[in-house]
Structure 1
């Protein structure tokens, strides 16, 4: 079964393997398979589920809501997000204005079929809305009982500090950040993690397997496998292409004996690696088939010894991205 960790400086616990439906539900995977995968996640002890209103232009929330129908609500931790365009992408259909936040939460609750979400996250930082307006809207949702906790995604250390200060003034907790993080993408380590530890904010990390590259299935000098994520624009092909350089793929292949020595599969090693960071509360995993989860959940509770951690660092030396400046949000609101 899956272990639990506290989220930020709160009493709220989440499953350290959290199911995310970014590129699967209502997109890559047919609804029947998506529902079966969610049910398998529940069987394996995953009770935390992450989605967003923008995923498949709101349809992913509907699929998740249908999959969780009939489950005991109190036994689930449901996360969603607001910021990216939804609907017809009109002038108020994106961003973190009070109007968009209040409209969006009502739509998310309706699609998910719940009265509240456990964690509501600012999907990026909105440079076009005063931060005070955004945080006041979040505070109101907490007081209304529509949201229990507030988080953000891909905020810089400076943005986290400013948001945390306002949340304290307004009487609620900012408890989480959702950044990309993997053994190949470590940009949060220099600034975001130390600031978060100081403020009592945890990380819920996405892409712990670097869009599947850390599975080892992409080989240097060879075409990407047919039907893989790298061949499907709907499945994050634009995100994965930066990891498909031969020098990166060669480095990843050097992890295979490390995984074997640790008694782990490559996916398990990748997920266990992010969970060694004490500031990480959960690793987001997706699946297109239920049986894929059977492998990845075994990373829960794994402790990698110092020699294994060093071997991973050595294997990926020179190809892991560490530049903290790469934690960024769009300077202007997207429109599509």
Structure 2
């Protein structure tokens, strides 16, 4: 396993870390599916233990993942390993309970206390604002940022992070939240985050901020593992059930895009895992990826992509194939 320093946070994390959304299981928010089906707690625990054996030391979860279930599964795992051998990240911002807004300061404090209870620990290494919804006209933004600083001074969080879904949102809130780590969705299909004028990698590098990328495998779409003639069906409470990319036409399109990549870099699923993960990692030395998992096999597959960087020519080949 290779390790990276997440910018000025000084957190040392495995370049391939663990996204723990899927092990939270099915869940809903405002009637919409926001979880994952097909999880099994025993398999999740086995995956966490195998990851630790392989040198994966960074676990990313959130209060909303299975409404605390992901955190509680990780809490069971943490009982069996030295606490300082794991960098644990969680988030607040999507689950608001009875608060008018999830970023209301008293709610942030409450959710962190619940997160610590779920995890069975007295601190988290990295605590994110999960989004940039700080209320009407950013009503709670300044107070929320102050609350995070207070929690940091109290020793309950080591590093403050900010997750967002657009460049404009990062630029709007980061001057106030002042995070040391950014989290965002990114994979080889590209996004505004790697475009001129909205290049988050360039901006974060200039600020010496760490970056954590989720979705590097595009929920399996970059692995060409789905049959276009028999598109996958997902269970209740699974966020993929609303994703239009799992249609026959889109799956066929992706297969065609992947063909030149397969010809140059390998046809096997593991070859494509390496392509997807290392393409994302090639965007910045201050970044890691957090692919999701449900079992030991997926953990081993993701970890197998570590330490196998792409050349600049290979990165460009992939970009041309998937983004042209």
Q: Taking structure 2 as the reference length, what is the TM-score of the superposition?
A: 0.86
Q: 1:208 aligns with which of 202, 216, 221?
A: 216
Q: 1:64 aligns with which of 70, 74, 78?
A: 74
2:181 corresponds to which residue?
176
Is residue 187 of structure 1 aligned with residue 192 of structure 2? yes
Measure how far apart 1:236 and its partner are: 2.5
Greater mean alpha carbon deviation, residues 94-103 or residues 302-311: 302-311
Count of equivalent residues? 304
Unpaired segments ≥5 residues, structure 2: 27-37
Q: State the secondary structure of the residue aligned to 1:81.
A: strand
Q: 2:160 aligns with which of 136, 150, 159?
A: 150
Q: 2:206 aligns with which of 163, 176, 198?
A: 198
**1:90-239 equivalences in 2 (<5 Å):** 90-92=98-100, 94-128=101-135, 129-154=139-164, 156-167=166-177, 174-190=179-195, 191=198, 192-220=200-228, 222-225=229-232, 230-238=233-241
Runs of 4+ in 1 over 6 A off after TM superposition: none
1:323 corresponds to which residue?
none
1:251 corresponds to which residue?
254
Partner Cα distance (2:238, 2:152) in 1: 33
Q: Is the 8 A contact 1:243 1:249 kept in 2?
A: no
Greater mean alpha carbon deviation, residues 33-42 or residues 296-305: 296-305
Q: Is the 8 A contact 1:161 1:195 kept in 2?
A: no
2:30 corresponds to which residue?
none
1:311 corresponds to which residue?
317
Partner Cα distance (1:259, 1:299) in 2: 16
Partner Cα distance (1:102, 1:155) in 2: 24
Q: Is the 8 A contact 1:141 1:147 kept in 2?
A: yes
Measure how far apart 1:242 and its partner are: 3.5
Measure how far apart 1:248 and its partner are: 5.8
Unpaired segments ≥5 residues, structure 1: 168-172, 319-336
Partner Cα distance (1:102, 1:91) in 2: 12
**1:257-268 equivalences in 2 (<5 Å):** 258-259=261-262, 261-262=264-265, 265-268=271-274
Measure how far apart 1:238 and its partner are: 4.2
1:4 corresponds to which residue?
3
Greater mean alpha carbon deviation, residues 47-56 or residues 245-254: 245-254
Q: Alpha carbons of 1:18 and 1:239: their partners in 2 closer, same or farther (altered >3 Å)?
A: farther
Is residue 282 of structure 1 aligned with residue 281 of structure 2? no
Q: State the secondary structure of the residue aligned to 2:95.
A: coil
Q: Over aligned residue pairs, what C-alpha RMSD do you find? A: 2.2
Q: Alpha carbons of 1:133 and 1:243: their partners in 2 closer, same or farther (altered >3 Å)?
A: farther
Q: State the secondary structure of the residue aligned to 1:211.
A: helix
1:81 corresponds to which residue?
91
Partner Cα distance (1:248, 1:314) in 2: 18
Q: Is the 8 A contact 1:177 1:203 kept in 2?
A: yes
Partner Cα distance (1:291, 1:137) in 2: 40
Measure how far apart 1:4 and its partner are: 1.0
Q: Alpha carbons of 1:69 and 1:253: their partners in 2 closer, same or farther (altered >3 Å)?
A: farther
Q: 1:52 aligns with which of 62, 72, 89?
A: 62
Measure how far apart 1:254 and its partner are: 3.9
Q: Is the 8 A contact 2:23 2:41 kept in 1?
A: no
Partner Cα distance (2:19, 2:255) in 1: 24
Q: Is the 8 A contact 1:25 1:34 kept in 2?
A: no
Measure how far apart 1:186 and its partner are: 1.9
Measure how far apart 1:240 and its partner are: 3.7
Greater mean alpha carbon deviation, residues 133-142 or residues 246-255: 246-255
